[in-house]
Structure 1
Amino acid sequence: MAGIKRGYDGKIAGLYDLDKTLGRGHFAVVKLARHVFTGEKVAVKVIDKTKLDTVATGHLFQEVRCMKLVQHPNIVRLYEVIDTQTKLYLILELGDGGDMFDYIMKHEEGLNEELAKKYFAQIVHAISYCHRLHVVHRDLKPENVVFFEKQGLVKLTDFGFSNKFQPGKKLTTSCGSLAYSAPEILLGDEYDAPAVGKCVCNSG
């Protein structure tokens, strides 16, 4: 289980040497880093807590709770959380092959069917596992599927919109990426969490 360590800003540099930026969002930046003692490369999601409103703060803590809960070969692992006065650092497993969106864009003639089935099955296994733990991702899209080429795997990442659900009870929060949202979410209706997750997965 990932632990939460508290310290002062800059403490991250004592544990991890930060390198280039891998991605950027509204409140966070993802950086490549290396553990100073083991040399292991990781991805570090750096969240600026000073820019978060109440809703965003709730999403952040929900993301950490859900990622601590899910432990699966096809889900990017959260190693630890480092909490400082102004920033939260999520230390994540690092993929070595980019994300699925970039992969699709590089193959203009499409993917080999057998390979596509293999990757799709892995994504479905990850989603099914989450739903068994009553966790819904709510932002399924190619950009959130990362390649681990040495392992021959794809893994689901970015649980920023994830949430826990109770079977039989519907959710109401409108969230996720507009282009990949299920009709219920676009219409502002209540929705069944697992059904929406499957709908989004099959929409691509």
Structure 2
Amino acid sequence: GNQNATHAEPKELTNNDIRYKWDRIIGRGEYSRVYHGIRLHDQLPVAIKVIQAQDLQKHRKQRLKREISILRYITKLTNHSEYFVTLLDTFIDDQSNLMIVTELIPGIELYESLVTHDNGFNETTAKKLLRRVFLAVYMLHKNNLAHRDIKLENIMLDCSAKCLKLLDFGFATPTVLPNSKDQIRFTDLCGSIHYLAPEMLAEKVYDAKKSDVWSLGITTFAVLTGDFPFNGDSEAAIFQCITTQNVQYPPQMSDEARGLLHLMLHPDPSSRGTMSAVIRHSWWDS
């Protein structure tokens, strides 16, 4: 960014430094920065996501409200901290910046751990790692929520708990209308390029739970092979690949793993597996 912006940023939350101190930037989003911080009363390490006041336009406020209400909802789910990043606090500082405080997960993104595994993880390790992510997405869906941005970078390998946790609920959404059973049909394109479901690219109305299953399938393929099933030199080439190509499975992949991926990466969402089907797939017991 430009010098001035960095210079103008408060290094400490002036009217809240009774509660938190923060130092270095550990992540950046389109409109946010994430700082490493400490909750002062108990020295708990936290992540503080700061959205600057000037970036809080109306539609973005709506999205942030939704993200926070979903994070709050998740903290009420049984054993939520085993599956998801935990929301601790939200407040507006004295400069009208929005602060979202979550636990700091001591670990690395799944993406980073794959960098050292060129051909992916073996299936036994992959099962151990992924089981919890699958259950996390299953729990969301069961509670009529969809994540809509499942990818290697949004899954943290918690080194202390030796498990994976799902984070970044910036695109997450309820999948039913308030006080009704009516499924919401979505049209907005969201997520990251390698993970986009074909029905999203076709600009059809889509079921957000089924597009989650697709993205999780792409993630699973990457964990098992170290590669994306649909790739290309440009965005257009990747889109073309997603919408026209069949998945090529490496010869060493087990039949069960292929079966699971075939179910998750079915180009027709109505034939694609639901989360309750994929968590019961025979691969887990093979």
TM normalised by structure 1 equals 0.90
Residue 91 of structure 1: SS of its match in structure 2?
Answer: strand
CA distance in 1, matches of 2:17, 2:39: 9
CA distance in 1, matches of 2:116, 2:60: 34
Q: Hey, what does 2:70 align to over in structure 1?
A: 66
Alignment check: 8 A CA contact 1:12 1:82 kept: no
Residue 108 of structure 2: SS of its match in structure 1?
Answer: coil
Q: Hey, what does 1:49 align to over in structure 2?
A: 53
Q: Hey, what does 2:216 align to over in structure 1?
A: 201
CA distance in 1, matches of 2:28, 2:40: 24
Displacement, 1:173?
2.2
Displacement, 1:53?
3.0
Residue 55 of structure 1: SS of its match in structure 2?
Answer: helix
Unaligned runs of 5+ in 2: 1-12, 177-181, 220-286
Q: Using the aligned pairs only, state the percent identity.
A: 28
Residue 107 of structure 2: SS of its match in structure 1?
Answer: coil
How is 1:121-140 mapped onto 2 (pairs within 5 angstroms)?
121-140=131-150
Displacement, 1:109?
4.0
Alignment check: 8 A CA contact 2:48 2:101 kept: yes
CA distance in 2, matches of 1:115, 1:93: 26
Q: Hey, what does 1:3 align to over in structure 2?
A: none
Which of 94, 100, 107 aligns to 1:90? It is: 100
Alignment check: 8 A CA contact 2:146 2:174 kept: yes
Residue 122 of structure 1: SS of its match in structure 2?
Answer: helix
Q: Hey, what does 2:34 align to over in structure 1?
A: 30
Larger relative contact order, structure 1 or 2 (CA cutoff 8 Å, min sep 6):
1
Deviations along 1:52-105, one digit per CA (max 9) or x if unpaired, are 333322211111011111132211010111123521111111111111111111
Displacement, 1:153?
1.4
Q: Hey, what does 1:163 align to over in structure 2?
A: 173
Alignment check: 8 A CA contact 2:90 2:99 kept: yes
Which of 165, 188, 211 aligns to 1:173? It is: 188
The answer to whether the aligner puts 1:105 opposite 2:105 as a matched pair is: no
Please identify which structure carries the higher strand content.
Answer: 1
Q: Hey, what does 1:143 align to over in structure 2?
A: 153
How is 1:183-194 mapped onto 2 (pairs within 5 angstroms)?
183-194=198-209
Greater Cα offset, 124-133 or 163-172: 163-172
Q: Spell out structure 1 runs of 4+ moving beyond 4 A.
A: none
Unaligned runs of 5+ in 1: 1-8
Alignment check: 8 A CA contact 1:24 1:30 kept: yes
Displacement, 1:108?
2.3
**Residue-pair matches, total:** 196
Please identify which structure carries the higher helix content.
Answer: 2
